[in-house]
């Protein structure tokens, strides 16, 4: 009853009654019911997809003439899925002067790479890329198509899905094949507070954008061989109503706490503003962003964009190091979906240890420099 975001459930004489006029079919009630009393009737899963013989495809993103690392991550993941389905893995490369990357993609696990190397693809045009990819998909009929959940991927992939009237799941953090051969797409929702498994059983291809830096690329095998197909394009595919007037590179963005993979955060336990130096040193070695609790921001030891917590930023890094942070609930709510948490505090009963995977109790002024030293050694060694 309390889980329902639209207050559609009331208790009447001890039984839950759902007001179907209010219900938005989000499924939250199904999840929390301790006795599984609520069922969500889903359409049938077992649909034959004999036509989708084109294997697993990965859209390989290139910006200018450079290829984005996410492409290798997706080839690595795509390889697993293709093997699971017993089908081939194809990379699709769209851009200008990017043909040279095809070989590398094959060496990282692709069986085939379809290359669209054309001046008209020099800039990223949503309509053009979408048209090209949709066209290819309609012709070759892959069963799964993946792209990175980058600005580019998230912009044009939905257009492809809409053209093909198929399902697309955004920003997946895990992919798998289930017993029926369908792609299980796992993704966070509610700001990372819950995870959802999504299926697209009745349509093909199953499309997904995948969060960068989550999947692992395969090691490069320079002996690996595959097929490279240069696709010819008809001119009408290259028409764009939008025009890029210029492309500008900008500094910074590095150290943005909201998107960093590693964050080193300091709290009131640091004692004085100068002691943030310890945090910066550790962050430097780890190539991490620097965060702070509300306490240190209020005191002016670090600026507000670095604040992590209920009234600051909610972060979901791979590693969160909490130095001198007690773990007030307002802070926890901003970082407790981090993959790994390491906490350092002089109080063994500090609440932060309840959400930490690793913890040190003791004097942070001794522990943090040692930690910095160890990571430095590991990085260089």
Partner 1 sequence: MSLSFDVIFVGAGPASLSGALHLKRLTRVIPELKDLSVAVIEKAPNPGDQSFSGATFDPRALEELIPDYLDRMPPFGQKVQREGLSFLTKKHRFPLPFTPPVMSNKGKYLISLSEFVRWLGKIAESEGVEVYHGEAVDELMYDDSGAVNGIIIKGKGLDKDGNKKPNYVEPTPVNAKVVVLGEGSRGHLTKRLIAEKNLDEGVTPQGYAVGLKELWEVREDRFQEGTIYNTMGYPLQLDTFGGSFIYHVKDRLVSIGLVIGLDYCNPQLHPFECLQMLKKHPFVANMLEGGRFIAYGAKTIVEGGWYAMPRAYGDGFLIIGESGGILDAMKLKGIDHVMKSGMLAAETIRDALVAKDVSAAQLKAYEDKIRSSWISRDLKRARNFHQGFHKGIIPGMVHAGFQMFTFGRGLIDRFKVKPDYECMKMMCKSCPSPCGPFRPDGMLTFDKLTCVFGSGTKHEEDQPCHIKIDDISICNGKCKEEYGNPCTRFCPANVFEMIEEEDGVERLHLNPSNCLHCKTCDIKDPYGIVTWVPPEGGGGPNYKGL
Partner 2 sequence: MNIIVCIKQVPDTTDVKINPQTNTLERDGVRTIVNPFDLFAIEEALRLKAAHGGKVTIITMGPPQAKCALEEAIAMGADDARLISDRAFAGSDTLATSYILSKTVSSIGSYDLILCGKQAVDGDTAQVGPEMAVHLGIPQVMFVRRIASVDAKDLVVERMTEHGYDRVKAPFPCLISVVKDINTPRPPSFQGRMRAKRMEIPVLSPADIGCEEERIGLDGSPTWVERIFAPHARSGCTAAEGTTENIRDVAEKIEAKLEHIWE
Residues 249-308 that bind partner 1 (CB under 8 A): 272-273, 298-299
Residue in 177, 196, 228, 259 binding partner 2, rule: CB under 8 A: 196
Does 197 bind partner 1 (CB under 8 A)? Our answer is no
Residue in 193, 197, 247, 330 binding partner 1, rule: CB under 8 A: 330
Number of neighbours of residue 272 by Cβ within 10 angstroms: 9
Minimum Å gap between C-beta 116 and partner 2 is 20
* DSSP-assigned states of every residue in 105-172: HHHTT-SEEEEEE-GGGSS--HHHHHHHHHHHHHHH--SEEEEE-SHHHHHHHHHHHHHHT--EEEEE
Minimum Å gap between C-beta 176 and partner 2 is 11
Check whether the bond before 295 is cis (ω within 30° of 0): no
Q: State the sign of the Cα–Cα–Cα–Cα dihedral 341, 184, 155, 61.
A: positive
For residue 213, which of 9, 358, 68, 46 has the smallest C-alpha distance? 68
Does 193 bind partner 1 (CB under 8 A)? Our answer is no
Give the separation between CA 376 and CA 221, rounded to whole angstroms.
29
Asked whether 356 and 341 are in contact (CB, 8 A), the reply is yes
Which of partner 1, partner 2, none binds 72 (CB below 5-8 Å, type-dependent)? none
Does 351 bind partner 1 (CB under 8 A)? Our answer is yes
Nearer to partner 1 by Cβ, of 128 and 355: the residue is: 355
By CB under 8 A, the count of residues binding partner 1 is 14
Does 47 bind partner 2 (CB under 8 A)? Our answer is no
Interface region with partner 2, contact rule CB under 8 A, candidates 52-60, 101-109, 147-155, 289-297: 147-155
Residue in 329, 362, 377, 379 binding partner 1, rule: CB under 8 A: 329
Which of partner 2, partner 1, none binds 184 (CB below 5-8 Å, type-dependent)? partner 2
Give the separation between CA 196 and CA 370, rounded to whole angstroms.
40
Binding pattern for the stretch 296-315 against partner 2, x by CB under 8 A and - elsewhere: --------------x---x-
Does 340 bind partner 1 (CB under 8 A)? Our answer is no
Which of partner 1, partner 2, none binds 11 (CB below 5-8 Å, type-dependent)? partner 1
For residue 271, which of 152, 364, 176 has the smallest C-alpha distance? 364
For residue 352, which of 322, 318, 308, 313 has the smallest C-alpha distance? 322
Binding pattern for the stretch 324-343 against partner 2, x by CB under 8 A and - elsewhere: -----x--xx--xx-xxxxx
Give the separation between CA 360 and CA 378, rounded to whole angstroms.
19
3-state secondary structure of 278: helix
Does 229 bind partner 2 (CB under 8 A)? Our answer is no
Minimum Å gap between C-beta 16 and partner 1 is 11
Residue in 77, 117, 143, 261 binding partner 2, rule: CB under 8 A: 261
């Amino acid at each position: 009853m309390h889980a329902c975001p639209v207050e559609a459930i009331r208790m009447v004489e001890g039984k839950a009654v759902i007001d179907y006029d209010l219900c938005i079919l989000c499924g939250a009630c199904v999840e929390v019911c301790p006795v599984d009393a609520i069922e969500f009737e889903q359409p049938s899963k077992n649909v034959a997809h004999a036509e989708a013989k084109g294997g697993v495809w990965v859209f390989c993103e290139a910006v200018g003439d450079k290829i984005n690392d996410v492409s290798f991550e997706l080839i690595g993941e795509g390889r697993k899925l293709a093997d699971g389905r017993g089908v081939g893995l194809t990379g699709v490369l769209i851009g200008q002067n990017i043909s040279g990357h095809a070989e590398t993609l094959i060496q990282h696990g692709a069986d085939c790479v379809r290359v669209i190397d054309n001046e008209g693809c020099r800039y990223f045009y949503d309509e053009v890329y979408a048209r090209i990819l949709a066209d290819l998909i309609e012709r070759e009929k892959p069963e799964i198509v993946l792209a990175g959940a980058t600005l580019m991927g998230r912009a044009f992939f939905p257009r492809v899905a809409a053209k093909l009237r198929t399902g697309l799941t955004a920003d997946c953090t895990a992919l798998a094949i289930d017993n029926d051969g369908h792609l299980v797409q796992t993704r966070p929702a509610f700001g990372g507070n819950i995870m959802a498994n999504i299926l697209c059983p009745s349509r093909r291809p199953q499309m997904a954008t995948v969060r960068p830096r989550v999947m692992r690329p395969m090691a490069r095998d320079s002996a690996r061989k595959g097929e490279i197909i240069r696709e010819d394009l008809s001119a009408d595919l290259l028409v764009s109503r939008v025009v890029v007037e210029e492309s500008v590179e900008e500094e910074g963005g590095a150290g943005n706490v909201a998107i960093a993979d590693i964050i080193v955060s300091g709290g009131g336990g640091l004692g004085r503003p100068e002691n943030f130096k310890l945090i910066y040193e550790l962050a430097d070695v780890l190539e991490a962003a620097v965060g702070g609790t509300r306490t240190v921001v209020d005191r002016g030891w670090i600026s507000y964009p670095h604040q992590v917590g209920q009234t600051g930023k909610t972060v979901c890094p791979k590693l969160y190091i909490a130095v001198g942070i007690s773990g007030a609930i307002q802070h926890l709510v901003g970082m407790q979906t981090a993959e790994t948490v390491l906490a350092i505090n002089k109080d063994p009963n500090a609440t932060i240890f309840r959400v930490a995977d690793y913890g040190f109790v003791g004097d942070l002024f001794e522990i943090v420099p040692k930690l910095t030293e160890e990571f430095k050694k590991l990085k260089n060694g």
